[in-house]
Amino acid sequence: MAKIGINIATGSLQKEEMIVGIDLGTTNSLIAIIHPESREATILKEVDGMGKGAGALVPSVIHFQETGSAEVGELAKDYLVADPGNTIFSAKRLMGKSFNDIRDHAGFFSYKIIDENPESLVKVQVGNKFYSPIDLSSIILKELKQRAEHILKTPVNKAVITVPAYFNDAQRQATRDAGKLAGLEVLRIINEPTAASLAYGLGLDRNEQKTIAVYDLGGGTFDISILRITDGVFEVLSTHGDTYLGGDDFDRAIMDYWVSSNQLDATELNSNPSDMQSARLAAERAKKQLSKGEHFETMVDGRRLSIDKSTFEGLIEGLINRTLDSCKLALKDAGLKITEIDAIVMVGGSTRVPYVKKAVTGFFGREVNDSLNPDEVVALGAAIQADILAGNNRDFLLLDITPLSLGIETSGGLMDVLIPRNSKIPTRAARQYTTQVDGQAGMRISVFQGERDLVQHNRKLAEFILSGIPGMPAGLAKVEISFMIDADGILTVRAKELRSGVEQSIEVKPQYGLTDADVERMLSDSITHAESDIQARALGEARNEGEQLLKTTERFLQKNSAHLTHQELLDTAHAMQALQLSLTMEDKNLILEKHTALNEISKPYAERIMDEAVASAMKGKSI
């Protein structure tokens, strides 16, 4: 059995290499790996703090100093109030966006967003420098890479990065580019809900069929995604949400309550940003405290601030109901009933609020998965995916799509696609073919990868011969060719003659492969050559049909020449000769013309003979 390499995605990887999983979040970012010894997904945490605090969560905040140098994370977060114009937060919200896209929320950002060309991608101005959201994300990713290298004491060059399920191609590409700029090879961009499900082990069993709802309520965004896992492939059935709804709104609700209950003074707050900031921090502390206890009380700038749990729940009820409305819409879009959801996964720091958990459990009518740290699940899942890609976990699935079409060569050198590009794997496709010549005993099956119409421009992956087809007239054999790509990206091509059961197969294994550049070139070639390919395909098809007609006519004459007049025989021979000759030339129209001519000559006598046959059959005789 021949084994030939195709690269379903990015090529095979060396086992020793450490690939990290990165949750590049709106508020916080995190890195995780599979621990080489325990084999557990583990969040990378600073051991000695690197002078940057020992937390695992890295705030997705950048502070630009006057010198132009940037600090990222906890240190930068301190400047949100002190130096808002030079401190960038929520850069993820700007990914792949134009000013027009964010116009309604421009007030949300305290830094300068350029609106000169509202149609083109946004830029942020800091001092006299301009940064694209890709630049900004790359600064965060560079910091994460450095931290990972510091902790792991080894270079980190490859990563899996997560994005929200609703990110479009431009936003995904922007994330990929940010990784590249940070010196990371981004092996895969995966959906955050997919990663979260993986962290709970959902989808790791290849035979599993499950429908999962992933409820993600963070600091500033909410989304709900409905996923279906079939044979290890994750499909996003629907997604809904509100990109400006999250735990920050809970904090604001608490502050508003303190103002309305005269515990805080609105005028004082508005005139003093640092008072506002301490009130906001107190509100966040209150919220977190109420996730554990029934009551919160503190002193801030000489004022006593308090709130109890039931008051807090009353304040956020409306916000939570909005998230449940999104859940209803997501179910509707997916065409599912609540009872069809098999599992619910909780993601995001705000799902720690007991009222949120209670509301979601009540809505879906079943227990939710919340045993893991909701801030960490996405990064943990990304690490699991990274480990699968590293080839360390062969038992697990590979979630992927085929980057190029796969097919076989049919007569005339044409590419017949069985599995189109971008098909999810694992996948299967089959089609029937037949023999071209009477008594044909073997059939050559050549497997190609690529987008061009003629196989000569595509990449040959494998070839084998199905032999032992029993003697039959041309067109009678039924050869089924099936392509199967399993979850590891291994393609098996099988050919079976259905009448006789003769069978042959070949496995095409991912050992070496195409680089991303190869794939890109093959795709761009198919676009550049689209016009000439259409012509080549048309010529190929005209030739095939011409040959077919010659064969049918020949067979017809062998059986029926006695019923034809001398003139008819002569005209037919001439027309056949002309068609035969046209097949050797590169002129599709000429072939079609000769094809039509032969058809017109043979049509009258073919009909006459058919009529005679019918008539004699009616008399009980056969011819």
Give the active site residue among 143, 192, 387, 453.
192
Distance CA 564, CA 605 (A): 7
Rg (CA), the chain: 33
Q: Among 176, 228, 287, 588, indicate the residue that binds ligand AMP (CB under 6 A).
A: 287
Letters for 355-384 (x = contact with ligand AMP by CB under 6 A, - = none) are --------------------x---------
CB of 323 to ligand AMP, least distance (A): 14
Kindly state whether residue 285 participates in binding ligand AMP, applying the rule CB under 6 A: no
For residue 399 the two structure tokens come to 């979630």
CB nearer ligand AMP, residue 132 or residue 369: 369
Q: Measured from the CB of residue 289, what is the shortest distance to ligand AMP in angstroms?
A: 8
Alpha-carbon distance of 31 to 358, in angstroms, equals: 30
Given candidates 20, 21, 22, 27, which one binds ligand AMP under the rule CB under 6 A?
27
Counting beta carbons within 10 angstroms of the beta carbon of residue 270, is it exposed (0 to 12), middle (13 to 18) or buried (19 or more)? exposed
Report, in Å, the least distance between residue 117 CB and ligand AMP: 31
Cβ proximity to ligand AMP: between 248 and 533 the closer is 248
Nearer to ligand AMP, 381 or 546 (CB): 381
Residue from the set 73, 164, 232, 348 that interacts with ligand AMP by CB under 6 A: 348
Region near ligand AMP per CB under 6 A, out of 72-80, 350-358, 420-428, 503-511:
350-358
Question: How far are the Cα atoms of 404, 407, 433, 434, 565 from residue 481, in angstroms, in the given order?
Answer: 19, 10, 7, 10, 44
Q: Residue 526 in contact with residue 459, Cβ under 8 Å? A: no
Pick the stretch among 91-99, 135-143, 158-166, 285-293 that binds ligand AMP (CB under 6 A). 285-293
Residues numbered 487-546 forming contacts with ligand AMP, rule: CB under 6 A: none
Of residues 288 and 460, the one with the C-beta less far from ligand AMP: 288
Q: Give the residue from 416, 421, 385 showing the smallest Cα distance to 187.
A: 385
Q: In the complex with ligand AMP, which residue's Cβ is closer, 3 or 105?
A: 105
Report the distance separating Cα 478 and Cα 472, nearest Å.
Answer: 10
610: exposed, middle or buried (C-beta count within 10 Å: 0-12, 13-18, 19+)? exposed
Q: Toward ligand AMP, which CB reaches closer, 79 or 89?
A: 89
- Quickly tell me which residue has 């100093």 as its tokens: 65
Q: Put residue 264 in one of left, alpha, beta given phi > 0 → left and psi -120 to 50 → alpha.
A: beta
Among the listed residues 52, 92, 287, 509, the single catalytic one is: 92
Q: Is 256 a catalytic residue?
A: no
Q: Is 104 a catalytic residue?
A: no
Residue 416 is a catalytic residue? no
Please choose, from the candidates 7, 11, 12, 8, the residue with its C-alpha nearest in 3D space to the C-alpha of residue 423: 8
State the maximum Cα–Cα separation within the chain, in Å, rounded to a whole number: 118
**Residue 328 is encoded by which pair of tokens?**
């209803």
CB of 219 to ligand AMP, least distance (A): 4
x-or-dash string of contact with ligand AMP, 215-254, rule CB under 6 A:
---xx--------------------------xxx------
Rule CB under 6 A: choose which of 33, 94, 327, 353 binds ligand AMP.
353
CA distance 288 to 359: 18
Q: Residue from 138, 171, 323, 350 that binds ligand AMP (CB under 6 A)?
A: 350
Site string for ligand AMP, 52-91 (x = CB under 6 A): ----------------------------------------
Rounded to whole angstroms, the Cα distance separating 457 from 523 reads 11
CA 155/CA 157 separation, integer angstroms: 6
Residue 76 CB partners (closer than 8 Å, separation 6+): 59, 61, 62, 63, 70, 87
Chain centroid offset of residue 174 CA: 15
Write down the least CB distance from residue 112 to ligand AMP, Å: 24
* Cβ 59 to ligand AMP shortest distance, Å: 9
User: Is 192 assigned a catalytic role?
Assistant: yes
| Positions in the binding site for ligand AMP (CB under 6 A) | 25, 27-28, 218-219, 246-248, 284, 287-288, 291, 348-350, 352-353, 375
Catalytic residues: 23, 92, 192, 216
